[in-house]
Amino acid sequence: MRLLFVCLGNICRSPTAEGVMRHKLQLAGLADRVQVDSAGTGAWHVGKAPDPRTCAAAEQRGYRLHELRARQVQAEDFARFDWVLAMDHDNLRELCRLRPPQGDAELDLFLRRGGLAEHEVPDPYYGGADGFEQVLDLVELACDRLIEQIRERL
């Protein structure tokens, strides 16, 4: 199983989802059966580490994101990954636009696939520390629910 989490710049929401999911898969004993990555629909931050506020909030909960580097979604991602999960409707629309005809990946909103009533992970970039905490709350819950789905598929 291969998962790709996608936000706009790949420095806040999607690397948070990647780091949280990797950690939770390790705890669930599934890390060797599930590949996880993240990317952005935009190229502004390619090669950069996640936002320091993202890293600090994640670190307080035991997730290390410092080693991750932003990258942009590529056409081959739609064939390489089983699920490509967007953080919001704007990024999902962009993924639908970028998807090549031969791309077999299932596209969806991350929170919707995770079974949450709220479908969008709000972008914390222009807000305060509470926004990064809210992102972590949503991501942790959605990752737990996705792991249940992954167990069923495997």
Per residue in 91-134, pLDDT tens? 999 999 999 998 899 999 999 999 999 999 999 999 999 999 99
pLDDT of residue 10: 98
* Number of neighbours of residue 53 by Cβ within 10 angstroms: 17
Contact present, 107 and 73 (Cβ < 8 Å): no
In this prediction, residue 154 has a pLDDT band, given cuts at 50, 70 and 90, of confident
| 146 has a pLDDT exceeding 90 | yes
Nearest-Å Rg of the Cα atoms of the chain is 14
Residue 19 has φ and ψ, to the nearest 5°, of -65, -45
Annotated catalytic residues are: 7, 13, 123
DSSP run (H or E) holding 85: strand 83-86
Enter the tokens of residue 101: 């005809």
pTM of the model: 0.97
> Which CATH number applies to 2-153: 3.30.110.30, 3.40.50.720, 3.30.930.10, 3.40.50.2300?
3.40.50.2300
